[in-house]
Amino acid sequence: KAGVTQTPRYLIKTRGQQVTLSCSPISGHRSVSWYQQTPGQGLQFLFEYFSETQRNKGNFPGRFSGRQFSNSRSEMNVSTLELGDSALYLCASSYGTDNYGYTFGSGTRLTVV
């Protein structure tokens, strides 16, 4: 079966712009979680969606937002980009009704210049 698909793979944006990243989970998975990965901070939890509802949120500013659609696909948006937002953004999916671990996508590498 198809894995978790994240688009685009690479993105270069300018400070102040906004960006939208997309994630398609594994078929049947209803939970989508987003993580920011940087060399200095490691993997930081952004938020988790299940059946179009945000169930959990990490400690990120309001510039970071997300949503989930009825087909479980998810998007995350970052507004007013800062240099420090440069990171690998990882999406992970699971059934959401158990905690047997995630399937991760390959990530979107965002560079803010």
Partner 1 sequence: GEDVEQSLFLSVREGDSSVINCTYTDSSSTYLYWYKQEPGAGLQLLTYIFSNMDMKQDQRLTVLLNKKDKHLSLRIADTQTGDSAIYFCAESSNTGGFKTIFGAGTRLFVKA
- Please say which residue, 79 or 88, places its beta carbon nearer to partner 1: 88
**Distance between CA 85 and CA 113 in Å, rounded?**
10
**Distance between CA 79 and CA 75 in Å, rounded?**
13
**Distance between CA 58 and CA 50 in Å, rounded?**
15
Report the nearest approach of partner 1 to the CB of residue 55 (Å): 3
**At residue 40, what are phi and psi to the nearest 5 degrees?**
-80, -35
- Please say which residue, 2 or 14, places its beta carbon nearer to partner 1: 2
CB 21 within 8 Å of CB 89: yes
**Distance between CA 35 and CA 13 in Å, rounded?**
19
With CB under 8 A as the rule, give the number of residues binding partner 1.
25
From candidates 50, 72, 76, 112, binder to partner 1 by CB under 8 A: 50
* 11 touches partner 1 by CB under 8 A: no
- Please say which residue, 31 or 81, places its beta carbon nearer to partner 1: 31
* 63 touches partner 1 by CB under 8 A: no
Q: Enter the tokens of residue 27.
A: 């078929």
- Please say which residue, 79 or 103, places its beta carbon nearer to partner 1: 103
Q: Which residues bind partner 1 (CB under 8 A)?
A: 4, 31, 33, 35, 42-43, 45, 48, 50, 55-56, 58, 90, 92, 94, 96, 99-107
